[in-house]
């Protein structure tokens, strides 16, 4: 960060002259330094004598936390007094990344902290890097939830997030000769300075047991095993506002009385703490492997744990905020509470809310159903059949017997409604029913169908995706309830993804727009368009990019030992490794490029644009094919990067352990990024938005939000290739019929791998996935072969455009200028208005 390096020239004061005194609302550097020192001494986590970067980080974070807590308390009190309608965002994942830069940036105290740390003999940039990433999520869906929280706080909306406090986040990835290795991500190894344990917020959560029917006809879920949900609150500050909202994360614990002291004294240590160890399993890891039945059970427990604890909490707050002594008016619940389910993972909120209303609060079915369906809304994130959640009726009956009863009743009543009101649709019932017993041995509950039937609003996450939902996946429901379906194109927070991760470019934007209002009104970026040809802006733009490329090159050297040339074209694809995202298309393209380069004369090579291709991402531990792709990228890199004949003309680098902090270094230094999924398969994508916002050009298919990005930044500024979504089924069919003729360049690339040019590892199963018409190879289901020639042609257009620096700079400026729409502030305003019906509630 520039501000930091500038300050580091200031002579350091004698450390002992800085008092250790508490200043919870410190603003100036002297008070901030005193407050940091106070925390190092009086809330120490280490020997108070130590003040190395790590200790300095924790003391700094504790000091920032003081400011956060004050605002967070004020916000809570204000919401409590005003009692507005409030949104609760339920998500099994939050990909928060680091919090320090974001917190001081949003509070507007970055310069004070940089100066204070300088007085204390430290450098803010270095202190920031001490913080482990909070990776309580996998990828886009979790990062979206985190961007949304930032926007909710910034827009002063009465809204909270709920999630689980996983002990270990998404695994840490390292690369060896064997390929990807996973190890536990111990983000809580020391502790997290950002969470507040709420010993006053504890709810019981039941599993197993049975259903009793009382004389009154009321059902009661009894017995089984009871754990407790304990709240940890993470304050989320808005940018330039006092509003600081909560991300409430639940941790499972066993009630103290469940510790059997007699057994323990008898030496039966494991039995004594049986329930304690069961409780620990629930929040141990994000996505436990679910190949086995035990793993499935644990995952279902996690989902219910989130839903049950959150709903009890929401209801408790609803009761607390009502006018004293007035009876509870449940019909007012939906005008005080909006629940948003981030994908189907929190679907059990539906039967849990029904159960609480009917069994605990004694509402009748119809009344409970009205309340539930007016409260809950559902966001769909995928149309991939294998990603649509299904839970076995047997498992649900065992773990959640009352909820299974309620789900069956919802299904029955839905069937009856179709039968009586829409008899013409009875033939659609197989498609629409919630309980799928097409395999009578193993009936399942289709969670997406339960969500559609029970929510007042269903939304997709980009225009193309929402249209596919309406025209295909949920087509039959649309004819029943056309007004239920909406689109909410995803967005990203411009604070983390431009203002803080790219201060160089931010300063240039502020200078040319003569305002920094774009940070909260991203549409203002449009104002850059008029300067896109201006050579002064272009040269400033180019030097910011170069500074970020140099920083990135240093990072790459540090984590991989590969030296890359900052003058080469930096080409990046970072995202979860998945066949539909087609990292395989990228690497086969790189292989073909390498082969061509090797065959060229020295004269021909002089005309080549040097390229550094970077690929990063984690492959799910049990996803073998994805792990082979990781291995191939690394094997190709090992050969290409050490080929003296090629030198800087081509480098292929695998960036290990991709996460939010890594993205924050890579994206500002990128010039070209790849968003090349098979059309129709990526619901939205959000990294495409992050790249475009940072002036990076996109090579991509007409998929997800790419479609809208291309519209916004202009067709000429987007390297388009590939089949369109509506052609995909036809192309797959042609393939099945053996009508597909592969391009010779595609065959050449594959054969080069087969020739063992990249080592002895057996890539047959990976390459076979691109062959055949069906069966094992699935006949190249993801259309890598079909799209290969048009991909290579788009890559040639990239090289040609890059040769013309002025043209490239103009395209880059226009990318940033056209990214205004993709602010999560815009997305969240749309949710607030059209789905949640909530209004701003600003803390004075």
Ligand X SMILES: *Cc1c(COP(=O)(O)O)cnc(C)c1O
Residues marked active site are found at 381, 575-576, 581, 686, 690
Question: What's the chain's Rg over C-alpha atoms?
Answer: 28
Q: Is the dihedral of CA 357, 359, 361, 367 positive or negative?
A: positive
CB of 168 to ligand X, least distance (A): 17
Residue 31 or 825: the one with the smaller Cβ distance to ligand X is 825
Contacts with 184 (C-beta within 8 Å, 6 or more apart), sequence order: 168, 171, 172, 285
- Which segments of 334-400 does DSSP mark as H helices, in order? 349-355, 365-375, 393-399
CB of 768 to ligand X, least distance (A): 26
CA distances from 716 to 160, 232, 569 (A): 41, 48, 19
Write out the DSSP string of 483-540: GGEEE----B-HIIIIIIT-HHHHHHHHHHHT-SGGGT-GGGGGGGGGGTT-HHHHHH
Question: Quick one: tokens of 414?
Answer: 């839905």
Residues within the interface to ligand X (CB under 6 A): 95, 139-140, 143, 575, 659-660, 663, 685-687, 690
CA contacts within 13 A on the Cβ side of 72: 20
CA distances from 621 to 141, 576, 618, 763 (A): 18, 12, 9, 18
CB of 241 to ligand X, least distance (A): 24
SS3 content of the chain, % helix, strand, coil (to 5): 55, 15, 30
Angle between helix 110-119 and 100-107 (nearest 10): 120
Query: Distance between CA 457 and CA 334 in Å, rounded?
Result: 13
Question: Quick one: tokens of 263?
Answer: 């057994």
CB of 829 to ligand X, least distance (A): 21
CB of 33 to ligand X, least distance (A): 33
Nearest partner of 382 among 436, 431, 451, judged by Cα: 451
Residue 520 or 687: the one with the smaller Cβ distance to ligand X is 687
CB of 465 to ligand X, least distance (A): 12
Q: Using DSSP, state whether 158 is helix, strand or coil.
A: coil
Residue 140 or 334: the one with the smaller Cβ distance to ligand X is 140
Residue 382 or 816: the one with the smaller Cβ distance to ligand X is 382
Query: Distance between CA 155 and CA 457 in Å, rounded?
Result: 22
- The answer to whether the beta carbons of residues 571 and 672 sit under 8 Å apart is yes
Residue 494 or 685: the one with the smaller Cβ distance to ligand X is 685
Residue 140 or 158: the one with the smaller Cβ distance to ligand X is 140
Residue 227 or 709: the one with the smaller Cβ distance to ligand X is 709
Contacts with 739 (C-beta within 8 Å, 6 or more apart), sequence order: none
Query: Distance between CA 250 and CA 247 in Å, rounded?
Result: 10
CB of 198 to ligand X, least distance (A): 28
Query: Distance between CA 447 and CA 348 in Å, rounded?
Result: 9
CB of 613 to ligand X, least distance (A): 16
Residue 317 or 465: the one with the smaller Cβ distance to ligand X is 465
Enter the DSSP assignment of 622.
Answer: T
CB of 381 to ligand X, least distance (A): 11
Write out the DSSP string of 196-220: EEEEEEEEEEEES-EEEE-TTS-EE
CB of 662 to ligand X, least distance (A): 7
Q: Residue 573 phi/psi, 5° resolution? A: -130, 110
Question: Quick one: tokens of 321?
Answer: 């905020």
């Amino acid at each position: 960060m520039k501000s930091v390096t500038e300050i580091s020239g200031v002579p350091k004061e004698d450390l002992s002259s800085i008092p250790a005194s508490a200043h919870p609302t410190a603003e100036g550097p002297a008070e901030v330094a005193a407050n940091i020192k106070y925390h190092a001494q009086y809330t120490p986590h280490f020997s108070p004598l130590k003040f190395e970067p790590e200790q300095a980080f924790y003391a700094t974070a504790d000091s920032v936390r003081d400011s956060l807590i004050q605002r967070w308390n004020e916000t809570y009190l204000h919401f409590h007094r005003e009692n507005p309608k409030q949104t609760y965002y339920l998500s099994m994942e939050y990909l928060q990344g680091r919090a320090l830069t974001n917190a001081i940036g949003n509070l507007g105290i970055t310069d004070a902290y940089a100066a204070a740390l300088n007085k204390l003999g430290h450098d803010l940039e270095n202190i920031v890097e001490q913080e482990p990433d909070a990776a309580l999520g996998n990828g886009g869906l979790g990062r979206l939830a985190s961007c949304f929280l930032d926007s909710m706080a910034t827009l002063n909306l009465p809204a909270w997030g709920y999630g689980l406090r996983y002990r270990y986040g998404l695994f840490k990835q390292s690369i060896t000769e064997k390929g990807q290795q996973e190890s536990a991500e111990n983000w809580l190894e020391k502790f997290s300075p950002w969470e507040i344990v709420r010993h006053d917020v504890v709810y019981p959560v039941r599993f197993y047991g049975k259903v009793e029917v009382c004389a009154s006809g009321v059902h009661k879920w009894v017995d089984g095993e009871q754990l407790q949900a304990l709240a940890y609150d993470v304050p989320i500050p808005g940018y330039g506002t006092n509003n600081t909202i909560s991300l409430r994360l639940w941790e499972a614990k066993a009630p103290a009385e469940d510790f059997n002291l007699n057994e323990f004294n008898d030496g039966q240590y494991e039995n004594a703490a049986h329930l304690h160890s069961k409780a620990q399993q629930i929040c141990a890891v994000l996505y436990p492997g679910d190949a086995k039945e035990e793993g499935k059970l644990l995952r279902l427990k996690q989902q219910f744990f989130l839903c049950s604890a959150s709903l009890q909490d929401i209801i408790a707050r609803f009761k607390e905020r009502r006018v004293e002594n007035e009876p509870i008016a449940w019909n007012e619940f939906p005008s005080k509470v909006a629940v948003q389910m981030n994908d189907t993972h929190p679907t059990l909120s539906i039967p849990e809310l029904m159960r609480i209303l009917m069994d605990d609060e004694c509402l009748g079915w119809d009344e409970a159903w009205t309340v539930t369906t007016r409260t809950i809304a559902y966001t769909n994130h995928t149309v991939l059949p294998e990603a649509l959640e299904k839970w076995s009726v047997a498992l649900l009956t065992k773990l959640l017997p009352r909820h299974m009863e309620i789900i069956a009743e919802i299904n029955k009543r839905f069937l009856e409604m179709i039968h009586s009101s829409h008899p013409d649709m009875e033939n659609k019932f197989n498609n629409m029913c919630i309980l799928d017993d097409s395999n009578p041995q193993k009936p399942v509950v289709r969670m997406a169908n339960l969500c559609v039937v029970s929510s007042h609003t269903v939304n997709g996450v980009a225009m193309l995706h929402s249209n596919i939902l309406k025209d295909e996946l949920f087509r039959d429901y649309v004819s029943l309830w056309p007004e239920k379906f909406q689109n909410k194109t995803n967005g990203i927070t411009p604070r983390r993804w431009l203002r803080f991760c790219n201060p160089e470019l931010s300063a240039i934007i502020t200078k040319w727009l003569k305002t920094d209002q774009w940070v909260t009104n991203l549409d203002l970026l449009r104002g850059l368009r008029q300067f896109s040809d201006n050579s002064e802006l272009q040269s400033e733009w180019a030097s910011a990019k170069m500074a970020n490329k140099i920083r990135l090159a240093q990072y790459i050297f540090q984590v991989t030992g590969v030296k890359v040339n900052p003058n080469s074209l930096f080409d990046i694809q970072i995202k979860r490794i998945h066949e539909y995202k087609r990292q395989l298309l990228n690497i086969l393209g790189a292989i073909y490029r390498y082969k061509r380069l090797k065959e060229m004369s020295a004269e021909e090579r002089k005309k080549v644009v040097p390229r550094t291709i970077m690929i990063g991402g984690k492959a799910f531990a049990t996803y073998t094919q994805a792990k082979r792709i990781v291995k191939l990228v690394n094997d190709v890199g090992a050969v290409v990067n050490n080929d003296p004949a090629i030198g800087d003309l081509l480098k292929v680098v695998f960036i290990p352990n991709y996460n939010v902090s890594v993205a924050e270094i890579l994206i500002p230094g990128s010039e070209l990024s790849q968003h090349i999924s098979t059309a129709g398969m990526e619901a939205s994508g959000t990294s495409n938005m992050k790249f475009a916002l940072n002036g990076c050009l996109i090579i991509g298919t007409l998929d997800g939000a790419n479609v809208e990005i291309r519209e916004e930044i202009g067709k000429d500024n987007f390297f388009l290739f590939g089949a369109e979504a509506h052609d995909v089924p036809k192309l797959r069919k042609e393939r099945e019929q053996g009508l597909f003729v592969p391009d010779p360049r595609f065959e050449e690339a594959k054969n080069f791998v087969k020739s063992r040019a990249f080592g002895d590892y057996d890539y047959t199963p990976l390459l076979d996935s691109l062959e055949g018409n069906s069966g094992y190879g699935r006949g190249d289901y993801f259309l890598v072969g079909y799209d290969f020639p048009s991909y290579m042609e788009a890559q040639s257009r990239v090289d040609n455009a890059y040769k013309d620096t002025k043209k490239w700079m103009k395209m880059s400026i226009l990318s940033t200028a056209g990214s205004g729409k993709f602010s999560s502030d815009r997305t969240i305003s749309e949710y607030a208005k059209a789905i949640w019906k909530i209004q701003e509630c600003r803390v004075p």
